[in-house]
């Protein structure tokens, strides 16, 4: 079974795409300890079975709201095989903020460039191949309302799921911050438990940002003083 998570900003077409992929047969539950609805469904394509999990709509992956934390925890802890990042093609710039955070989290991202019909009717010309090249992930234009691009999207998901080596795109933060990030990463690597659970670069960035959830995790580490020394 291939585990696939759907993520995207609010109103990008997540629910519609979820229904298209799963035939609308969702199992609805709650996220553990939370009252936010959790939807899961099965998608079969070319003899492969995919479990599709619909994550709450979110603009970002900070720990500032319950929705964001649920989405982030799911990606970090459950490590789905593929994350379909649904991007509104008619609102590309704002949507790519979440995409960059997913790449920073080292998620195996496939982009569904949804509402492509709207982008086209607005006269937007998106160089899909170039976008894919820059981000290092597959980008598939889709129109969830007419199911255009859905087969191609599923094809891309299967390819991504089978891929062993992934091209990593990282966002640079400038010399000074990069020095701190490397220093924190080196100390994190001493803690095998911590460094096996999270991508170390992501963890280092979150520590520098003062992310509360992550700092709580770091407090539990034997190396907490060494790690936190860098930000004191």
Chain residues binding ligand GTP by CB under 6 A are 8, 10-16, 57, 114-115, 117-118, 143-145
We find the least distance from the C-beta atom of residue 15 to Mg ion, in angstroms, to be 3
Which of 7-15, 38-46, 131-139, 208-216 is the region at the interface with Mg ion (rule: CB under 5 A)?
7-15
213 binds, among Mg ion, ligand GTP, none (CB under 5 to 8 A by kind): none
Which of 8-16, 129-137, 170-178, 218-226 is the region at the interface with Mg ion (rule: CB under 5 A)?
8-16
* CB closer to ligand GTP out of 90 and 221: 90
We find the least distance from the C-beta atom of residue 115 to ligand GTP, in angstroms, to be 4
Q: Which long-range contacts (CB under 8 A, 24 or more apart) does 154-160 make?
A: 154/21, 154/43, 154/45, 154/46, 154/50, 156/110, 157/2, 157/4, 157/50, 157/82, 157/84, 157/110, 158/2, 158/45, 158/46, 158/48, 160/81, 160/82, 160/108, 160/109, 160/110
Give φ, ψ of 114 to 5 degrees: -85, 170
Q: List the one residue from 15, 19, 91, 195 that touches Mg ion (CB under 5 A).
A: 15
* CB closer to ligand GTP out of 118 and 126: 118
* CB closer to ligand GTP out of 40 and 48: 40
Joined together, the tokens standing for residue 99 give 């995409």
Give φ, ψ of 31 to 5 degrees: -70, 145
10 binds, among Mg ion, ligand GTP, none (CB under 5 to 8 A by kind): ligand GTP
Q: Which residues bind Mg ion (CB under 5 A)?
A: 14-15
């Amino acid at each position: 079974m291939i585990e696939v998570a759907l993520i995207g900003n609010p109103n990008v077409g997540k629910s519609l795409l979820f229904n298209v992929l799963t035939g609308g047969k969702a199992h609805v539950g709650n996220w553990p300890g939370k009252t936010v609805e959790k939807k899961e469904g099965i998608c079969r394509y070319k003899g492969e079975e995919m479990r599709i999990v619909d994550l709450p709509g979110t603009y970002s992956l900070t720990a500032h709201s319950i929705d964001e934390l649920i989405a982030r925890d799911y990606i970090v802890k459950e490590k789905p095989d593929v994350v379909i990042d649904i991007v509104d093609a008619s609102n590309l710039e704002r949507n790519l903020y979440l995409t960059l955070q997913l790449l920073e989290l080292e998620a195996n991202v496939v982009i569904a460039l949804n509402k492509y019909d709207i982008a086209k009717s607005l006269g937007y010309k998106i160089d899909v191949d170039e976008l894919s090249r820059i981000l290092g992930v597959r980008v598939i234009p889709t129109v969830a309302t007419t199911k255009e691009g859905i087969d191609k999207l599923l094809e891309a998901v299967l390819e991504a799921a089978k891929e062993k080596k992934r091209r990593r795109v990282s966002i640079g933060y400038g010399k000074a911050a990069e020095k701190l990030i490397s220093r924190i990463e080196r100390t994190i690597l001493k803690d095998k438990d911590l460094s096996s659970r999270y991508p170390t670069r992501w963890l280092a960035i979150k520590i520098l940002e003062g992310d509360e959830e992550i700092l709580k995790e770091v407090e539990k580490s034997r190396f907490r003083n060494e790690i936190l020394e860098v930000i004191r």
